[in-house]
Chain A
Amino acid sequence: MRAVVIGAGLGGLLAACALAERGFEVQVHERLPYPGGRFTNLEFKGYQLSTGALHMIPHGRKGPLGEMLRELGAEVEILPSEPQAVFRVGGRDYEADEVHAVLSAREKLLAVKLLAMMKLGRAEAGEESYAEWLAKHMRSETVRRIADAFTGWCLSLRAHQVPAREVLAQVANLARLGETGVPRGGCRGVVDALVEVLESQGGELVLGSRVLQVSGEPWGYAVHTQEGRLEAEVVVSNAGLRRTARMAEEVLPAEYAAELAGLRSVPGVKISVACSEPVLGHSGVVFTPDASRVCGMNEVSNADPELAPTGKHLLMAHAAPAGGDLRREAELALQDLHRLIPRFRERCRVLAVQTYRGEWPVNHAPSGTHLSPATPAGGLYIVGDGVKPEGWMETEGVAMGVRQMLEHLAAAEKSSEI
């Protein structure tokens, strides 16, 4: 059987490799001259910036992405971060299990209990937001800020913008898997390894080829690119929700297409900084609850020195915007960095300020959306960060979405719908 994958982002490449492994004849069409989408390197002045991601694999070697890479035979070394994460409060860094030290005696007790419940996956929530849920248990402004920094870094949303259930499931997964890592070579290390797997399985990656439309045929689909027409029994779109709705308008029920088109993507701001010396000193996340826009920072060159020129370091900060004017949000984030990093002017130089929104966002759908990768059109699937199952953040969610897609496909094959 033939499969066409639209887009060579992380979801598209994972799906393509898995399909090739299962014996499909796979062609991946990517409109850009490079694969990887928002998960590849952007070399600038000797530093490995990225098109999107902060070069981190949220659950390290043991998470869904690490596991899937291993299953596919993609050779990626994931370097675990030590410590996994710290919280910078009042100019001091606290490990996750110690951050309650900044609270009052009464709050401390509550916070320790609450966190233990969350980590064990025993905390329960209804339909409320994470901020509302927290407020039911504790009235601490500091705790609210810590929660905002956490969701801001992981999801580019503040605690009041995410369902509590989603965050609780994510925290339980984070605690259970207990690791965060940086792929050697950065995001591109992962993408290069996947392209190698794809090609070794006989799959084909066509760069600079934009898919315009997907139309129905009695035996499957015709995929129309700028260059011509392809035929396939299975089509996997990694082009995002709204683009997929438009491209496949002819084969999707109008109601479903409208649902896709109506989902809002999540914006974000990333700042990459060149440092003359290590300013964080480790490769874990530094959450920044004191800052107005920046939610966290990392310094991935401490994990893989090749991500910066010899002796130099690459620091990246992520900000979850509070308003729609991203230029203004970026300016506020820059001001934060000057306050958060001692002797910023002496040691640091801003390499790039990157903003994400619309069809090149941090997330194609807000966390907690849980759209299925199977569309109402049999044989047409969606992968990527618009279709993440509950409890899985960032690229871990992308990998889990691909896994779900493969399950749907296997079920359809079994009942000979395809």
Chain B
Amino acid sequence: MRARVTERCVGCGACLPFCPAEAIQVMGRAEIDASRCTGCGMCARYCPNDGVEVER
């Protein structure tokens, strides 16, 4: 998996619309479907909480 949700994620859903792979689901916290995630980094860019880290 390229994108990893951290402890800082609050589940605010701000990343949701920006994921081109529709890999994110949010319910109290973001969950990323590793088989879909391409590691593009959009979620991390739009997250207000540094709630997700993307490995380069």
Spell out A's residues near B (CB within 8 Å).
32-34, 37, 42-44, 49, 51-52, 325-331, 352-360
Contacts and interface: CB of A to CB of B under 8 A. Distances in A.
B36 interface: no
Given A43-B17, A355-B26, 20 more contacts: A33-B46, A42-B17, A44-B16, A44-B17, A49-B13, A51-B12, A51-B14, A327-B27, A327-B29, A328-B28, A329-B28, A330-B27, A330-B28, A354-B26, A355-B11, A355-B29, A356-B10, A356-B11, A356-B12, A359-B49
A353 B29 CA distance: 10
B2 interface: no
Contacts of A330: 11, 27-28
A381 B3 CA distance: 37
Contact of A360 (B16, B26, B29, B48): B48
Contacts of B16: 42, 44, 352
Given A33-B46, A327-B27, A358 B14 contact: no
Contacts of A353: 11, 13, 26-28
Closest 10 CB pairs of A and B: A327-B28, A355-B11, A354-B13, A44-B17, A326-B28, A352-B13, A360-B10, A357-B10, A360-B12, A360-B49
Interface string B6-30: 0010111110110000000011110
B36 to A, nearest CB: 17
Contacts of B48: 32, 37, 51, 360
Contact of A42 (B10, B11, B13, B49): B13
A158 B34 CA distance: 39
Contacts of A44: 16-17
A353 B30 CA distance: 10
A80 B34 CA distance: 45
Provide the main secondary structure of the chain B interface.
loop
Contacts of B45: 33
Nearest to A327: B28
A327 B26 CA distance: 9
A326 B13 contact: no
B46 A32 contact: yes
Contacts of A32: 46, 48
A138 to B, nearest CB: 36
User: Among A49, A326, A355, A358, which residue has the most Cβ atoms of chain B within 10 A?
Assistant: A355
Given A32-B46, A33-B45, A352 B10 contact: no
A331 B13 CA distance: 16
A325 B46 contact: no
B17 to A, nearest CB: 4
Contact of A358 (B26, B46, B49): B49
15 contacts: A42-B17, A44-B16, A44-B17, A49-B17, A51-B48, A52-B12, A325-B28, A353-B11, A353-B27, A354-B11, A355-B11, A355-B12, A356-B12, A358-B10, A359-B10
Nearest to B8: A358
B9 to A, nearest CB: 10
Nearest to B15: A42
A356 B46 CA distance: 16
A44 B17 CA distance: 5
A265 to B, nearest CB: 10
Contacts of A326: 11, 28
Contacts of B28: 325-330, 353, 355
A43 B8 CA distance: 23
A331 B27 CA distance: 8
B14 to A, nearest CB: 6
A105 to B, nearest CB: 44
Contacts of A355: 10-12, 26, 28-29
A329 B46 CA distance: 25
B10 to A, nearest CB: 5
B40 to A, nearest CB: 14
Contacts of B10: 355-360
Contacts of B17: 42-44, 49
A352 B16 CA distance: 8
